[in-house]
Structure 1
């Protein structure tokens, strides 16, 4: 089953539940927090940190996974592979946004496909296999689609918060000592413009494609699917993590964390204050993703809060205090059609 199919089945199941049923217990939140820190931690490692038995940790994970509440994904950093990530906004006629959005969600080069602005705008992340938009068939095709009114693409330049970090890293119940106990050793350094790209072979691409579907797949399962030995699978996963290519993220329904108002935030910041503003924005507990992007609005963020009233307070207090802020635009997110998607192979 493809990653987008699993996402769809998870969403369908969760939509039948009440919000109270979707929410995680304190014990489940602790497990989700542990997996966000180290998605491939063994149940023994998780149990030791949480103070429970191995069997309890395993049963809790099995229940949450089978219920579709949580999923661990092994994803890749496009900038470590020479690919380019884009944040794309597509304005459509009101009758077309849902169908166009569904078609975009089925593509392997998109993630986080959202319907916004009352159902007339689609926002998504697009990954091109090269440095420019000309490498993306989607970005070439969209402007020629009759029901598309406007397309704007913003190249993602620097991530201040995101990828293997999420709101649960800020709000989760684990103590600093538990976080330190679960944090993998040998974390990669932040990539710079001089960091060389990592070249993948066919075996790497197959392994990463499998991990994108199930980040906790056992080495034996991965070995059987790839034809590699279990020891080679373990070694290559460790090498790809150390190189900063591979990271692990927990996917969950927005209601799981009881943050029911979501919005995209587009900020215009003085270029001389962009790094300072981005770091400050990344520290806000309401922010699940923050990055510098191209365009007049040069700072983009995803915001998750419980209510519209709290979003107003956040805008007038925390956002208003950001250094170098010139202009603010907000776009409410009404529906998510696709979360983190399957791995997109780079060109051979």
Structure 2
């Protein structure tokens, strides 16, 4: 697999800071031409399945989030995972542990209830076990991205691109739903396309985008195969932590470059993390030399990730074999 160069990494970092930054602005910061940035962006999309997605902060959207762990027989697990990936109420669908375990984030709201966990999953005869973990607090993930996406720009370049965010405490308006749906498909959709999706004028869309970004209600994420950034080994870590030390351990883990997601949850394990490491040896070193030094972690279960079928945004188009452009880039 080809690795990305400094311009590619700088572009990814820039898009993580501001998913709607213009090519000309990014080019000026990186010291290259606008045409170069446009070509690199299109190549990353076409060849490596990269996309920028705009997402509403879950709490502000009135959502509750669950981590669901499902096990199924080897010949049904992939079809089940694909079915889960097609649902609008799931994100982050992964096949793990030899291809028999599926892990997904389930988003629920007061208006929709919880049909997946309460109705649909119990009716699936191919599922052999289920556990659901309510996400109590995310230490990393969402607006706080994996550091592997943030190693392409200098401090000065970051300051040139970073948006000023003044956090608020209001909930996202119901009228923003169509806008967020469109941004979830393509965070860089034009104002004209977003106007068509919302029924607003382009000027109204621009004002609303600026308002949502300025308060942190809207953030952007870059979806790309982490192997292109040097992380070829993924694993989900399920930890049981002494309750009195849970917040301290979660805060510490959120500073580890190896982790893309860290969250406190309910259940027999109360801290979950997603590790991205250069290779199996690097994962072993991380588990033994970094996590192993934290005495408050009483137990640790490591589940290797075999395939990601869905990330933060809606499911991407698949070919007849069920693969997305990102899968083919692996």
The TM-score, its normalising length taken from structure 1, stands at 0.85
For residues 326 and 155 of structure 1, the distance between their equivalents in structure 2, rounded to whole angstroms, comes to: 20
The TM-score, its normalising length taken from structure 2, stands at 0.89
1:310 alignment partner in structure 2 = 282
For residues 196 and 223 of structure 1, the distance between their equivalents in structure 2, rounded to whole angstroms, comes to: 24
| Higher mean C-alpha displacement, 35-44 vs 236-245 | 236-245
Q: Say whether 1:172 aligns with 2:143.
A: no
Q: Where in structure 2 are the equivalents of 1:110-259 lying within 5 Å? A: 110-130=90-110, 135-140=113-118, 141-168=120-147, 172-188=151-167, 195-201=169-175, 204-259=176-231
For residues 313 and 37 of structure 2, the distance between their equivalents in structure 1, rounded to whole angstroms, comes to: 26
For residues 42 and 253 of structure 1, the distance between their equivalents in structure 2, rounded to whole angstroms, comes to: 23
Q: Secondary structure at the match of 1:330?
A: strand
Structure 1: stretches of 5+ with no match in the other structure: 1-18, 190-194, 344-348
1:280 alignment partner in structure 2 = 252
- The 1:171–1:216 alpha-carbon spacing in structure 2 relative to 1, beyond 3 Å, is closer
Q: Deviations over 1:214-248 (max 9, x none)?
A: 10112122223333111110111122223432110
CA RMSD in angstroms comes to 1.9
1:51 alignment partner in structure 2 = 31
2:301 alignment partner in structure 1 = 329
For residues 239 and 274 of structure 1, the distance between their equivalents in structure 2, rounded to whole angstroms, comes to: 35
Q: Say whether 1:24 aligns with 2:4.
A: yes
Q: Say whether 1:107 aligns with 2:80.
A: no
Q: Deviations over 1:81-124 (max 9, x none)?
A: 21111111001122221111111111111111111111111001
- Contact 1:273-1:323 within 8 A present in 2 as well: no
The counterpart of 1:88, out of the listed 56, 61, 68, is: 68
Shift of 1:323: 5.5
1:6 alignment partner in structure 2 = none
| Higher mean C-alpha displacement, 137-146 vs 220-229 | 220-229
- Contact 2:147-2:257 within 8 A present in 1 as well: no
1:342 alignment partner in structure 2 = 314
Q: Secondary structure at the match of 1:150?
A: strand
For residues 72 and 39 of structure 2, the distance between their equivalents in structure 1, rounded to whole angstroms, comes to: 45
- Contact 1:170-1:285 within 8 A present in 2 as well: no
How many residues are paired up? 314
For residues 22 and 280 of structure 2, the distance between their equivalents in structure 1, rounded to whole angstroms, comes to: 39
- The 1:221–1:249 alpha-carbon spacing in structure 2 relative to 1, beyond 3 Å, is same
For residues 136 and 245 of structure 1, the distance between their equivalents in structure 2, rounded to whole angstroms, comes to: 23
| Higher mean C-alpha displacement, 253-262 vs 166-175 | 166-175
Q: Deviations over 1:41-72 (max 9, x none)?
A: 12222122211222222222122223244210
- Contact 2:74-2:99 within 8 A present in 1 as well: yes
For residues 167 and 70 of structure 2, the distance between their equivalents in structure 1, rounded to whole angstroms, comes to: 34
- Contact 1:32-1:70 within 8 A present in 2 as well: no
For residues 180 and 317 of structure 1, the distance between their equivalents in structure 2, rounded to whole angstroms, comes to: 34
For residues 218 and 140 of structure 2, the distance between their equivalents in structure 1, rounded to whole angstroms, comes to: 16
- The 1:340–1:279 alpha-carbon spacing in structure 2 relative to 1, beyond 3 Å, is same
Q: Where in structure 2 are the equivalents of 1:65-76 lying within 5 Å? A: 65-76=45-56
- Contact 2:65-2:107 within 8 A present in 1 as well: yes
Q: Where in structure 2 are the equivalents of 1:291-302 lying within 5 Å? A: 291-302=263-274
Q: Which runs of 4+ in 1 moved over 3 A?
A: 168-171
- The 1:170–1:237 alpha-carbon spacing in structure 2 relative to 1, beyond 3 Å, is closer
Q: Secondary structure at the match of 2:27?
A: helix
For residues 228 and 144 of structure 1, the distance between their equivalents in structure 2, rounded to whole angstroms, comes to: 41
| Higher mean C-alpha displacement, 279-288 vs 221-230 | 221-230
- Contact 1:276-1:323 within 8 A present in 2 as well: no
Shift of 1:170: 6.4
- Contact 1:69-1:256 within 8 A present in 2 as well: no
